[in-house]
Amino acid sequence: MLKTNALPGVPRWAVLAAHAVPLVTLPSGLWRIALVAGLPVAPRDGDVSFGEDLYVLSLTVVSEALALLTLGLVRSWGDVVPRWIPLLGGRRVRPLAAVVPALLGVTALTGLAVWFFCAPYVNPDQAIWQGTPAQDALLAACYLPLLAWPPLLAAVTVAYYRRRTARNGAKGRTLARV
């Protein structure tokens, strides 16, 4: 049985979904690292600058860090700011302070997914499928899991909002309307 450090009252499916988010971003990050390392995962111009490689690696670090933030929606640091954070440590997190950025993230990720798949039809020069069949298959295998990120984040965000805005009524727990 999988053990997690989730809070009581968090649905098991939300815990699993939150833990899945960093995993669905991992293959694309590993693909980008392989690209920068010079492995033949995609065709590459010979004169790639250090700045471009740094950008690609930064994209990997930022996307994985953002994916890991999803865990805060099912763990204690999504309810109370960790004490080690200056000025804010120990304060309760207002639900909308987590929900609004998460839903903005869902919107941005959905927009990126739409652009990723529609851009080659609008401008064929932007097609990402320009490698060998094996390279294109590896690219698809590494990037298609990212399509799960927006719905997983949306579902975990809704569960977080419901849990944080729930009220204890006289007859038990009732949920506020979303």
Say what the pLDDT of residue 17 is: 97
From the centroid of its chain, how far is CA 10? 19
Considering only the C-alpha atoms of the chain, give the largest distance between any 2 of them, rounded to a whole number of Å.
Answer: 69
Say what the pLDDT of residue 4 is: 67
With contact defined as beta carbons under 8 Å apart, do 54 and 32 qualify? no
The one-letter code for the residue type at 93 is V
Helix (H) or strand (E) holding 14: helix 12-37
pLDDT (tens digit, 9 = 90+) per residue, 39-94? Answer: 999 888 778 889 999 999 999 999 999 999 999 999 998 899 998 989 988 899 99
pLDDT (tens digit, 9 = 90+) per residue, 80-99? Answer: 999 898 998 889 999 999 99
Phi first, then psi: give them for residue 163, nearest 5 degrees.
-65, -45
Calculate mean pLDDT across residues 115-124. 79
From the centroid of its chain, how far is CA 153? 7
Say what the pLDDT of residue 171 is: 40
Dist. CA 44–CA 23, nearest whole Å: 27
Say what the pLDDT of residue 174 is: 39
The pair of structure tokens assigned to 9 is: 């009252």
The one-letter code for the residue type at 30 is L
Calculate mean pLDDT across residues 151-168. 92
Say what the pLDDT of residue 20 is: 97
Say what the pLDDT of residue 3 is: 61
Residue 121 has pLDDT above 70, yes or no: yes
Residue of 138, 147, 141, 142 whose CA lies nearest to 116: 147
